[in-house]
Amino acid sequence: MKKCKQLFSKITGQSFLSSILTGTLLLILVCGFHLDSTAQGCLPEGITFTNQQQIDDFSVNYPGCTFIEGDVIILGYDSITSLLGLNQISQVGGGFGILGCEVLNSLSGLENLSIINGGLAINYNSLILDIDPLSNLDSIGGQIGISNNTSLINFDALANAYFFNPVLISSNPQLQSLHGFDNLTSCNFHLSISNNTSLTSLAGLDNLVVIPGFLRISGNSALADIDALSNLSFSNVNELSIIDNDNLTDLSGLINLTGIGSLEIIDNDNLTSFYGVNNLTSVGALKIAGNPMVSDMSDFANLYWINVVLYIGDPNEGSKPGLSSLSGLENVDGIVHGLWIYNNENLLSIEALSNVNYMGGEIRIVNNASLLSVTGLESISTVRGSLIISNNDVLTDISCLCNIDSIRNDLVIENNLQLANISCLENLDSVGGNLQIKNNPELLDIPTFDQLNKIWGDFSINNNDNLQSLNTLNNIDAVYGTVSIGQNDHLQSIKGFNLLDSISGSMLVFNNPLLNSFSGFQNLSTIGGNLKFELNDQLNSIDSLLNLKTIEGTLRFYGNENLHTIQGFENLNTVGYDLLLQQNGLNSLNGLSNLNEIGGSLRIYKNNSLSDITGLENVLELHEFLQIEANENLTNINSLSLINLDGLNKLTLKYNPLLSYCAVESVCQYLNYPGANFTITNNAPGCNDQTEILEACQTNTNEFAETLDDFVIYPNPADEFIFISLPAGDNEGEIIIYNQNQEVVLNKSHLVGKIDISKLESGFYYLEFQSKNKLVYRKLIVK
């Protein structure tokens, strides 16, 4: 390949060269192997001819040069009209290429050429009718490529040459025969005959017996038969592709074929049957797609084993007409690596597969517009890959899948417009990947899946418009992906998941407009990602997450207009990232009373029924943003007093028209920090800007007292002693002082007189007062 790059670096005319390289495997075809260095000759580096004068001067410049050791490239454009100046050449040690000679109409001058040790490439030559001057060629050591020669009728001259390497014959619109290959018995690697639109038969390949690689017959629109392939038999051909030959009516040339590594029969518009494969008993991969005149597979009646994958339809193309049934495959006992049924417009039934006892790999049944059921898969108990049933518009019945108890990878049931019942999947005891049931508008119920104890991927119930209730997965203890329940237009209640302890990913409940009840999940303790309740218009209670302690991602409530309280979260103590309360009907946050850590931001936005944020008083740490914005009835943010805002990126207090008091301790301290980043505007007077808040802060932190709810600590800040003034009726109680690591540093129950704090180091502390009637928290500053 390095030598090829050196050769082509000499060639000018980049745009034309690019077109040649696009149309052919030029570098591969021309660069073969070379003679050893002891051979005598000339030009070991090869030679490239780009104009007529170079050819005419060759015998003068290289007298007696009959053996060119390197590659010979004739790149003619519109300047080379004759090759007579090369008539002394008898042998080429490298590859030989005649490329893009637009006005060359004959290869006369090459009559003495007998050996090419590399490849032969004859490409993009508009006027050449034949290659008769090459009739003295004895051997070609590399690949042969004859492509895009618009006038070429035959290459009979190759009949005397010995070659066995790959052959590419492509896009020669006037080519009428392959008789130059009459002596070809084997072809290493591959043979491709494609897009030769005048070729009516494969005559010339009659002696072909062995192809270790692939044989591809494609795009030959006049090809009427492949009878010349009748000598191919089992073990002598690895892959055979017959594609887009619109005049071909049968495959009779394959009648002696009993086995093959891979067989593709695709898009042959006038093929009326698969006659010719009648003796085939085993195949590696079998792919049948887009043969619109063939309705069944009756010619495959002797096939009993498929070693790789059975493809009915092409997963990479759109829907196509063709088979209406798989009749003919009744004797198939095993399919080793999967069944893919894709994009079949006319397929009504796959019942012919009912005798398959072994199914390996994946089962994919996708985009079959006429398929009514998947009857035929009754004997399958284990799917050793994924089971995907998708985009089958009239499919109503998958009851034959009742015997499946194990799916190694994913289970996906989606976009089946008429499918109303999937209860047959109730016996599943193992799904190794995702379990996704999505976009089935007629589906009325989801199996309980009582045999499952783990979901190893995602669990998704989305866009099932007629689903009214979800009561499932009562015996699983872990989901290792994400739980997603969303866009189910008629879903009213979510139950189940009673033993579920952990979700490694996120839990998302969104866009279920009629959902009013969320229960189940009683044992859920940890969510590794986010927990989001979004746009569930009728949701009015979430009361079952009492054991949830940790959410490692974000907790978000958004657009739940009828959700007035957050109950059921009383044991939640950690939100690893953000707590977002946005556009809900909330009037209380009491359910978050044990939350003490938010790793990211706290955003309270457009909750127009919320008057205070009681429930957040135990949150001690916040690291990113604090945003309280556009809450029409919010009057009180006192519960934020104890939050440490030292590392906050930004504080936003705006558009809260009734919020007049913002001088809580945490805000006061933050606004006094040099470089504090904040936006404070359009609140009620007293909380309209930094100046108003700091004035209120100054009043609250005078040397005598801090007074809230009649509970007084003074002085604060303090250095040696503090005094406690108790609320009326709370004459007895206990004081506990915590440091910022939430460690108890002082505990005192006798509250008469002064309390000695002289042993406490300077810094911030949290003071808790507890009595029969009250639990109060305050921040204490020790100087």
pLDDT at residue number 294: 97
Alpha-carbon torsion angle 194, 196, 199, 203, nearest 10? -40
1-175 has which fold? 24 nucleotide stem-loop, u2 snrnp hairpin iv. U2 a'; Chain A (3.80.20)
Answer whether the bond into residue 715 is a cis peptide, omega within 30°: yes
* Mean per-residue pLDDT, 368-386: 95
Per-residue model confidence as pLDDT tens digits over 246-279? 999 999 999 999 999 999 999 999 999 999 999 9
Q: What percent of the chain is predicted at pLDDT more than 70?
A: 90
Mean of pLDDT over the chain: 89
Q: Which segments of 481-539 are extended strands (E)?
A: 483-486, 493-496, 502-503, 507-510, 517-518, 526-527, 531-534
Q: Judge whether 177 and 202 are in contact, CB under 8 Å.
A: no
Per-residue model confidence as pLDDT tens digits over 661-708? 999 989 998 998 888 999 999 999 999 999 999 988 887 544 333 344
b/e sequence 553-578, b meaning 16+ C-beta within 10 Å = bbbbbbbbbebbbbbbbbebbbbbbb
How far, in Å, CA of 530 to CA of 508, rounded? 8
**pLDDT over 90 (residue 728):** no
Bridge partners (DSSP) of residue 67 are 91
Give which of 377, 457, 466 is closest to 425, Cα–Cα.
377
| Block residue for tokens 């994919």 | 364
Q: Judge whether 197 and 224 are in contact, CB under 8 Å.
A: no
How far, in Å, CA of 676 to CA of 669, rounded? 10
**pLDDT over 70 (residue 10):** no
* Mean per-residue pLDDT, 480-498: 96
Count of other CB atoms within 10 angstroms of residue 662: 27
CATH assignment of 281-452?
A: 3.80.10.10
Distances (CA, A) of 545 to 476, 526, 583: 16, 10, 22
Most confident of 34-38, 397-401, 524-528: 524-528
**pLDDT over 50 (residue 187):** yes
* Mean per-residue pLDDT, 300-314: 95
Per-residue model confidence as pLDDT tens digits over 534-572? 999 999 989 899 999 999 999 999 999 999 998 889 999
Bridge partners (DSSP) of residue 495 are 471
The CA-CA-CA angle for residues 233, 236, 239, to 5°, reads 100
Per-residue model confidence as pLDDT tens digits over 403-430? 999 999 999 999 999 999 999 999 999 9
Per-residue model confidence as pLDDT tens digits over 209-252? 888 889 999 999 999 999 999 988 766 778 999 999 999 999 99
782: Cα within 13 Å, side-chain hemisphere: 21
| Block residue for tokens 């090759």 | 83
Find out if CATH 3.40.50.300 is the number for domain 706-782.
Answer: no
pLDDT at residue number 103: 95
Amino acid type, 300: F
**pLDDT over 90 (residue 762):** no
SS3 254: helix
Within 8 A by CB and 6+ apart from 60, the residues are: none
| Element housing 29 (H / E) | helix 26-30
Angle, nearest 10°, between helix axes 690-700 and 665-672? 120
Amino acid type, 180: G
| Element housing 668 (H / E) | helix 665-672
Answer whether the bond into residue 717 is a cis peptide, omega within 30°: yes
CA 299 to chain centre: 38
Bridge partners (DSSP) of residue 533 are 509, 557
pLDDT band, residue 368 (cuts 50/70/90): very high
The beta-carbon contacts of 748-751 under 8 Å, at least 24 apart in sequence, are: 751/724, 751/726
Going from N- to C-terminal start, the domains of the chain cover 1-175, 281-452, 706-782
How far, in Å, CA of 395 to CA of 417, rounded? 7
How far, in Å, CA of 362 to CA of 432, rounded? 13
Question: For residues 15 and 698, which has the higher predicted lDDT (pLDDT)?
Answer: 698
Per-residue model confidence as pLDDT tens digits over 593-619? 899 899 999 999 999 999 999 999 889
Most confident of 225-234, 546-555, 642-651, 725-734: 546-555
Per-residue model confidence as pLDDT tens digits over 58-93? 999 999 999 999 999 999 888 999 999 999 999 999
The CA-CA-CA angle for residues 67, 68, 74, to 5°, reads 125
pLDDT band, residue 759 (cuts 50/70/90): confident
Give which of 293, 285, 281 is closest to 312, Cα–Cα.
285
pLDDT at residue number 750: 65
**pLDDT over 70 (residue 138):** yes
Give which of 391, 443, 381 is closest to 412, Cα–Cα.
391
